[in-house]
Structures are given as C-alpha cells and as structure tokens.
Amino acid sequence: MKFAVIMFPGSNCDIDMFHAVEEAVGEEVEYVWHNDTNLDRFDAVLLPGGFSYGDYLRPGSIAHFSPIMSAVKKAAEEGKPVLGVCNGFQILLESRLLPGAMRRNENLHFICKTVPLRVENPDTMFTNQYQKSDEIYIPVAHGDGNYYCDEETMTALKDNNQIVFTYVNNTNGSRENIAGITNKAGNVLGMMPHPERAVEDLLGSADGKKLFASIVKQWREKHAITT
C-alpha cells in the first residue's frame, strides 16, 4: 500500500506524517508537492498540519486552490482514504470535501497540549482498530479548531454517523465537542488532533497508531486476492 503526504508551502507536520506511516504501519510513503496534479499511483492521501500560505485570509483558504487539490478530489471520489489533520482538515473544509467551517478557538489562544478524545464511530476505514467509546490521548496544536456547522448539517452528521472523534473536555469551543468528522461516504476524514504525533510511547502516547493501522487493514481486506 502506498501513501502520499501532500506538502503545501507552510506545511510543518509533513515529516511527522511521513514518519508515522513508516513507524506505525511500515508501508510505502512519498512526499507530493502541492504543484503536482496526479495521485493515481497512491492508495491513500494524507494532508498534514501546518500553516499553509501562512494561514492568510483563513487557514486552508489559499491552499485549496493548489493544483494538487483536483487530484485529492479525484482520489476522494474514487473512494480512496483521504486524511486531513489540523491544517489538512481546514483545507478539506475549504475545499468542501467536508461540511462545516473552522473558527478561531473560543478563548482566542493557540492551544497546544495532549487531550483525551472519545472514539464515537469505530466502524470507519480510519477507526476499525478502536472500540466504541475508547478514550485515546492525542495532541492538539491549533489556533483555529473551533468546528462550526449549521443545524441541518449537524443533523446529517449525526444521522450518517459522520462524527468520528469528540473531545472528552471541550478544548476549543467546537459544536458538540467535535474533533473529527468524515464525509458522507466515509472515506474522507478531517480531524484537528494529531494522530501522527502519537505513534510511539516516547512521544507520550501511541494511541494514534491504530488510526494508520485501520487504513491499512481496510485496504488489505479490499484488495485481498481470493481464489
């Protein structure tokens, strides 16, 4: 299985993401510059955190015009796993690959700490290695993580089980404690906490490892050769 890590000008978690794939699942992984236009050779696409284009205007609002985003949309339409973490999540929202929007944290401070999350939906290609209501410890590091959507969208998110992770203690003001959501099809996940920073005990938590392992498990099952 081959992962792509997309690099935008201002990405700063790309190396961590690359390392996480190697450390957590030992699969092939390659960096892809945002000016590239083709992701056909990859099985999964990872949009890392950071400050693409300096968070100018709104986080993710400029990056979503990058040439690579047409290929990210194509990968999403083909059903490939697409994971956006933190700034990656913000880019997916700006691209409308995920519903809703991100606002400044309620307390207007940059929040950088490891927080407990609850696994709300273990039946996704990103969470099949977790159990429902598992409490996992994953670092957050953001100034704009206050998830917002309108009532209609919230009802749809709930009805389709698109809420995947919630904060045990609301960290940033997000509606319904939302920390991570998928698209309706379930193959695009955006989350503010950083699973790639929690893949080995030395980092304080290895709870993020199962997320990468889930992606690989689902892919292997889908591509198993049965005779």
Ligand X SMILES: NC(=O)CC[C@H](N)C(=O)O
- Closest C-alpha among 157, 137, 14 to residue 85: 14
Q: Please report how close the Cβ of residue 23 comes to ligand X at its closest, in angstroms.
A: 19
- List the one residue from 49, 84, 139, 193 that touches ligand X (CB under 6 A): 49
Nearer to ligand X, 1 or 111 (CB): 111
Residue 72 beta carbon to ligand X: minimum distance, rounded to whole angstroms:
17
Residue type, 80: K
Exposed e or buried b per residue across 92-118, where buried means at least 16 C-beta atoms within 10 angstroms of its C-beta: bbbbebbbbbbbbbeeeeebeebbebb
**Interface mask toward ligand X for 68-107; x: CB under 6 A:** ------------------xx--------------------
Mark whether 13 is an active-site residue. no
Q: How many CA atoms lie within 13 A of 118 on its CB side?
A: 12
Q: Tell me the three state secondary structure of residue 145.
A: coil
Tell me the closest approach of the beta carbon of residue 55 to ligand X, in angstroms. 5
Applying the rule CB under 6 A, the residues between 133 and 152 that interact with ligand X are 141-145
Determine the residue type at 38: N
Residue 180 makes contact with ligand X by CB under 6 A: no
Single residue of 3, 7, 24, 59 touching ligand X by CB under 6 A: 59
Cα(145)–Cα(14) distance, integer angstroms: 19
Catalytic residue chosen out of the listed positions 86, 120, 142, 149: 86
Cβ atoms of 180 and 191 within 8 Å: the answer is: yes
- What six digits make up the tokens of 165? 């992770």
Active site residues: 86, 194, 196
The residue ranges that bind ligand X (CB under 6 A) are 49-51, 55, 59, 86-87, 141-145
